[in-house]
Structure 1
Amino acid sequence: MDIKALQEISLALRRDVVEMVYRTKDGHPSPSFSVADIVTALYFAIMRLDPTRPDWEDRDRFVLSKGHSCPILYAALARKGYFDREELFTLRYLNSHLQGHPYAPKTKGLDATTGSLGNGVSIGLGMALAARIRRKDYQVYAITGDGELGEGMIWEAAMAASHHKVGNLTVFIDNNNYQSGGTVGEVSGPYPIEDKWQAFGWHVQTIDGHDMDQILRAVEIAHLVTDKPSAIVCKTVKGNGVSFMVGENSWHKRVYTEEEYKQAIKELGGAV
């Protein structure tokens, strides 16, 4: 799939997130948008998947460690064919398949249950080591937030992954510089992010997390490094794609008014 087609899918997934949050009156739109292009690249250009066999043993695995961004993941799974798009509009409903954080037993296509921040890198490491033990060649990808780097469990996993030379594990760091309580520098600064991952023995790249070509190229390079895990620090923007969401951290978890909904859809290339 070419870059332009992937960009169009990314916009469509963002529109689905807007629709989900507007119709269900709940969800985390802004942190979903900062990882929208990464999720699009993974699900529509990179990962080896078969929606007709969600439990296929040889599939690549994905862990959304920052689980509150699940609306963008649900949108990708629906477009990929794991379930009907209309299910998106039951987000966070009681007994819905699509809970407010990923719950793998309920949702086709999910590889991990997440939501308690800090667990995703460890889960991904376990999956990557399982591939080695079972002599499988699948890749494991995880997305963690930059605010999430304050969780000590991430660094325990980083140290273990390096020690075990887990070359089939790639972690994307969503470096949008915000968390729910403010900027990451105000709360608990993780900088310099690259130096920390390098110190733990990882192969590290820094890219524009909204540049599809850079995302694809970074994963290609990560695959060439087989003797250590890879960290891709993605410079991103919360709310990317909708002007009034950028720089306004209240959109971490906020519901669109009718006017905001119409403007967001329009800015994302849709029609209302």
Structure 2
Amino acid sequence: MPQPKDLDPYSDARAFYGAELRRLRERAGLTQEQLGERVFCSGTYIGMFESADRRPQQDLSRILDDLFDSGEHLQRLCRLARTSKVADYFADAADLERRARTISEYAPVLVPGLLQTEGYARAITRTTMRFSSPERVEDLVRGRMERQGVLEDERTPVVWEIIHEAVLRSPIGDHEVMARQLRHVVEMATRHHIVVQVLPFTAMKEAFMDSMVSVMSFGDAPSLVYTEGAGSGRLIEEPALVERSAQSYDLARAAALSPADSLDLLASTAEDYAKR
């Protein structure tokens, strides 16, 4: 369980939330485990909020405010701490990516966000948010590009991407955008900590998921799964469901083309787009 640690509460909103949660808990004379029992979660979970390792949750903040009789204090801090440069439904998963030891993703429709070029990301965002202002679109594109900084960090995770062949055959933006995007995937896959495989149409029975799935493992916490659909995302932490997703991912990995054959297919498809 994360132990209480000294944080600079003024370093950022999340640290301030954690410091205030710890203050209220200690004022009530409760340990992390005791508080967790009262709000139906683990003491470890409480510790992650206090140490600013997890973004606070609005529903839990409301329960805590009721327990501590603190008005809407933690709820207001939660709204401030949850401010993010990425879509709100993805913000928790983006935060966890920075702590992950391994990230194993399955992408059935789009190139995974960690491997997207700016042009590809902009084309997607313009399509999915066609009624949003150009400024909002550019904010989200910048957020996605900044998110990719996790691949440059000294603690960078091992990233394994399985991309369905349908992603290669479904143009996003114009042909030049697609050619650059697929070449970028090939380039990224030459890094020692990134593996890319393509799941071909001929292996459809192994395409076990109909939405994007990311299995993340950590050195100091249990693995979890993030799934994403159109405009929504969900974190799954139930051990049995996480294990089931991990096993299904292993089956898809076994059915996919080898890394070398996958890069050949990506490169040849890129050239096809470039010639159109």
Normalised to the residue count of structure 1, the TM-score between the two structures is: 0.26
**Which structure: greater helix fraction?**
2
Name which structure has the greater RCO, CA cutoff 8 Å, separation 6+.
Answer: 1
Normalised to the residue count of structure 2, the TM-score between the two structures is: 0.25
